[in-house]
Amino acid sequence: MFRKCLLLLCACFITLPTLAAERQITDLLGRTLILPSQVDRIILSEARLMYILMPLQKDDPFAHVVAWSDDMERADPDTYIKLAETFPDTVNTLPRFGHPGKVTFDVEKALTLDAQLVVVNQAYHQLWQENGTLDKLEKAGIATLFVDFRDAPTENTLPSIRILGEVLHKEKEAEAVNAFIAEKMARVAERMEGLKAEDRPLVLMERASGMGDCCRVFGPNNFGHYVELAGGTNWGSDKTQALSLDINPEALVTEPFDLIIGTGANWQEAYPEANSLNLGYKAEDENLQRGFQALTQRAGWQAIDAVANKEFYGIWHQFYNSPTYFAAIEAMAQWMHPERMQGIDAEADFREFHERFMPFSYEGRFWVKMQ
Amino acid sequence: MSTDAIMARQEDRHHYRQHQGRRLQWVAIGAMLLLGLFLLDMTLGPGKLGLAQVAATLMDPDGADVKSRFIIWDIRLPVALMAVLVGAALGGAGALMQTILNNPLAEPFTLGISHAAAFGAALAIAFGAPLLPWEWAQGYMITLNAFLFACLSAGVIFLVSRMRGSTQETMILTGIAILFVFSALNAMLQFAASAETLQQIVFWAMGSLGRATWPKVGVTAVLLLLACVLLSRSAWRLTALRMGDEAAEAMGVNVNRIRLLVLLLSSLLAAVAVAFVGIIGFVGLVGPHMARMLLGEDQRFFLPGSMLFGAILLTIAEMLSKSIIPGILLPIGITTSLIGVPFFVFLLVVVRRRSWS
């Protein structure tokens, strides 16, 4: 009997560690997944998921990543170039998957890479469920983790960072970066407390200034939401739920806009005809003012009061899907409410974020005022 | 000649005149309607200018303030005129294509011309690949690329038709082949494009009259006028063509020649329209059918009627596109189909006469 008990006890001791080695993680959609204790073979279904990963493993952002996607170099060449400069070997050799919005995920390729986990933006959940990708991955023994940094950046980015921190046993790092962002956001909210509706400037938030017909404006989400958080009224917010819409050029001169803010990024190579604001890591001041000159030459823009008052600003387009949105909100708040924002320096905060949480150095221009 | 025969002839003539009179009436009603809609269009917009102020700014631009002048002369007038001109161009092009191809489904869209134009535009948007080397062309790269590709597709239909004999089947099948080629190429470009570029390509294709500028209005007007002059001289040949190739030939019509000529002319009209404002389907299909239902097959009425109905449709669509959400422009391609379809179905049900024979 004693021997039997001893054997049982031994068996327990042998199996316990392996049981303990598996753990449960709840993703952003509330799905529970079972993961091995050490996850070291991850596929990023979108390269821009690096935004979430970088603050967690600043010194080696590609650690545990066995493949990513081809979206970043087209959607955000700025960050891609910085990554490629800093980690040329990894960026050039890391296997790539097609973007989930464009092609069906290649489960077979994931298997050949011995992947343990695929990280996906929550926007693709329905698609992956319906096209069988989720089932196939499950049968292949590969877990799928849904996060979000784009649909609702200000709500979902921090929880997503926390979840990935848990997956990678980087809870401390996740907490540090989340605390940093949350503190900056809370500070702006505090400064805007008691702000009356009539003290909120009316903002025309233009999407991708200079690209295509004039002009596309943001609806209530994303940059539209940033404007509201920064103490402004986003003109497009009550027009529709759509992400962005064409404004009637007539409204440009008839609506009493106090401020115009346009987004811009390093699109010059991909789209040479655009007279856009080439903000980003490689931006130069002189070039940016030339961008403003071209943008104010558009039909009717001379007749806009905000342009005449030089209340025309540019902001880095990529803030729309990056944890660094806090810097955009701080900068906008500084433009609209300098007296309330006294003592806050958006650029210093953004620089500090790079020093503490980003794998590459801070340089360039991310927002600008027309001179 | 017996008295009976003379009486009968007089009666015929009387019938004919009555018939013509009724058609003229319809055309006149259409023209009045278009004028009314055009004026109404001029008063709509977020600028909230009264009719008097609109009229005053139109009559005396220098006397008006800067904002009113900008709103009326730089925004509303070119857009309203462009709606009329592009509607007429598309309606006319559709009517011509239906006639020469003897097919009720023919229009710039079904012949692949719109898709070719969209591909040309997408090429310019995605790669900034200009087809013309000159400096001045850079600012119009998207428009020019769209135009060149539309002409290219028409040219291919033209050449294949010349080689294989200009039968209707050859033209239609070549057109459909072109449609598939360019929609595949378009899909490929969209697949490869970045997020912002994709957005531009998709929205370009949805169409917008907001792209109207005075030079574009001028080019479209001149071309439309030219087409009207050319066509007014060969309207009877086209009417004959609708009776069948053999009948037309028996009346002394050079069927091949007129078919190729009209194909070129209608493609040109469609190409300009699509290049300037993007893809607007349906007008080219439905404008002519409405005209046929109300005015019949005689090209002297059918052609201007198609243009008139095209212009009316697009003007209404334009007003809706800026009125549904004040301050916001909905893509014109969307509103055109949304208002055109119910109206068309209404006509189909109410007008019992067989319009296509």
- The residues pairing with A245 across neighbouring beta strands, listed in sequence order, are A217
Helix, strand, coil percentages in chain A from 3-state DSSP, rounded to 5: 45, 15, 35
Half-sphere CA count of A348, side-chain side, radius 13 A: 5
Question: Which among A213, A250, A254 is the top mutation candidate for probing chain B, defined by the most B β-carbons within 10 Å of its own β-carbon?
Answer: A250
Predicted local confidence at residue A271, as pLDDT: 57
Rounded-to-integer distance, Cα A355 and Cα A361, Å: 7
Residue A18 — pLDDT band, cuts 50, 70, 90? very low
Residue A8 — pLDDT band, cuts 50, 70, 90? low
Residue A225: its H or E element: helix A223-229
Predicted local confidence at residue A364, as pLDDT: 94
A317: contact with B, CB 8 A cutoff: yes
3-state secondary structure of B76: helix
Does residue A16 have a pLDDT over 50? no
Cβ contacts of B125 on chain A, cutoff 8 Å: 212, 271, 273
Query: In 3D, which of A348, A332, A347 has the Cα closest to residue A191?
Result: A332
Please say whether the beta carbons of A224 and A236 come within 8 A: yes
Average pLDDT over residues A237-265: 90
What's the Cα-to-Cα distance from B321 to each of A156, A239, B16, B87, B326, rounded to whole Å? 35, 14, 42, 15, 9
Question: Which among B196, B277, B330 is the top mutation candidate for probing chain A, defined by the most A β-carbons within 10 Å of its own β-carbon?
Answer: B196
A250: contact with B, CB 8 A cutoff: yes
Query: In 3D, which of A315, A225, A329, A200 has the Cα closest to residue A261?
Result: A315
Of A74, A102, A255, the CB nearest to B327: A255
Nearest CA in chain A to B139: A273
Predicted local confidence at residue B107, as pLDDT: 86
A272: contact with B, CB 8 A cutoff: yes
B196: contact with A, CB 8 A cutoff: yes
Q: Measure in Å the smallest separation between the Cα of A330 and chain B Cα atoms.
A: 25
Predicted local confidence at residue A185, as pLDDT: 97
Please say whether the beta carbons of A128 and A100 come within 8 A: yes
Average pLDDT over residues A268-273: 58
Predicted local confidence at residue B87, as pLDDT: 96
B222 Cβ neighbours under 8 A, 6+ residues apart: none
Predicted local confidence at residue B163, as pLDDT: 82
Average predicted confidence (pLDDT) for chain A:
90
Cβ contacts of B142 on chain A, cutoff 8 Å: 273
pLDDT digits (tens, 9 = 90+) for B166-198: 678 888 888 899 999 999 999 998 888 777 778
Please say whether the beta carbons of A276 and A84 come within 8 A: no
Please say whether the beta carbons of B278 and B205 come within 8 A: yes
Half-sphere CA count of B276, side-chain side, radius 13 A: 27
pLDDT digits (tens, 9 = 90+) for A276-333: 898 999 888 888 999 999 999 888 888 899 999 999 999 999 998 889 999 999 999 9
Question: Which among A248, A279, A298, A302 is the top mutation candidate for probing chain B, defined by the most B β-carbons within 10 Å of its own β-carbon?
Answer: A248
Q: Measure in Å the smallest separation between the Cα of A246 and chain B Cα atoms.
A: 5
Half-sphere CA count of A187, side-chain side, radius 13 A: 20
Amino acid code (one letter) for A244: S
B46: contact with A, CB 8 A cutoff: yes
3-state secondary structure of A176: helix
Inter-chain residue contact A246 with B194, CB threshold 8 Å: no
Does residue A9 have a pLDDT over 60? no
B90 Cβ neighbours under 8 A, 6+ residues apart: B107, B108, B269, B270, B273, B280, B283, B284, B287, B310, B314
Q: Measure in Å the smallest separation between the Cα of A79 and chain B Cα atoms.
A: 15
Inter-chain residue contact A273 with B194, CB threshold 8 Å: no
Rounded-to-integer distance, Cα A357 and Cα B292, Å: 70
Half-sphere CA count of B260, side-chain side, radius 13 A: 14
Amino acid code (one letter) for A325: Y
A279 Cβ neighbours under 8 A, 6+ residues apart: A264, A265, A266, A288, A314, A315, A316, A317, A364, A365, A366, A367, A368
Of A247, A250, A270, the CB nearest to B47: A250
3-state secondary structure of A315: strand
Q: Measure in Å the smallest separation between the Cα of A137 and chain B Cα atoms.
A: 24
A254: contact with B, CB 8 A cutoff: yes
Query: In 3D, which of A246, A276, A215, A244 has the Cα closest to residue A77?
Result: A276
Q: Measure in Å the smallest separation between the Cα of B251 and chain A Cα atoms.
A: 50
Q: Measure in Å the smallest separation between the Cα of A339 and chain B Cα atoms.
A: 32
Half-sphere CA count of A215, side-chain side, radius 13 A: 30
Does residue A183 have a pLDDT over 50? yes
Does the interface ipTM go beyond 0.85?
no
Predicted local confidence at residue B94, as pLDDT: 94
pLDDT digits (tens, 9 = 90+) for B113-147: 889 988 998 888 887 755 666 666 666 788 888 88
Please say whether the beta carbons of B156 and B179 come within 8 A: no
Find the DSSP H helices in chain B.
Answer: 3-43, 51-59, 66-69, 77-101, 113-127, 141-164, 168-192, 195-206, 214-241, 245-250, 255-277, 283-295, 299-323, 332-350
Inter-chain residue contact B329 with A246, CB threshold 8 Å: yes
A298: contact with B, CB 8 A cutoff: no
Q: Measure in Å the smallest separation between the Cα of B123 and chain A Cα atoms.
A: 11
Inter-chain residue contact B70 with A300, CB threshold 8 Å: yes
Predicted local confidence at residue B130, as pLDDT: 58
Does residue A270 have a pLDDT over 60? no
Average predicted confidence (pLDDT) for chain B:
86
Inter-chain residue contact A270 with B194, CB threshold 8 Å: yes
Amino acid code (one letter) for A78: D
Of A75, A208, A255, the CB nearest to B46: A255
Average pLDDT over residues B9-32: 83
Q: Measure in Å the smallest separation between the Cα of B112 and chain A Cα atoms.
A: 24
Predicted local confidence at residue B319, as pLDDT: 94
A247: contact with B, CB 8 A cutoff: yes
pLDDT digits (tens, 9 = 90+) for B48-82: 888 888 889 989 888 888 888 888 998 899 999 99
Inter-chain residue contact B67 with A254, CB threshold 8 Å: yes
DSSP secondary structure string for all residues of B166-210: --HHHHHHHHHHHHHHHHHHHHHHHHHS-HHHHHHHHHHHH--GG
3-state secondary structure of A30: coil
Average pLDDT over residues B191-208: 81
B73: contact with A, CB 8 A cutoff: no
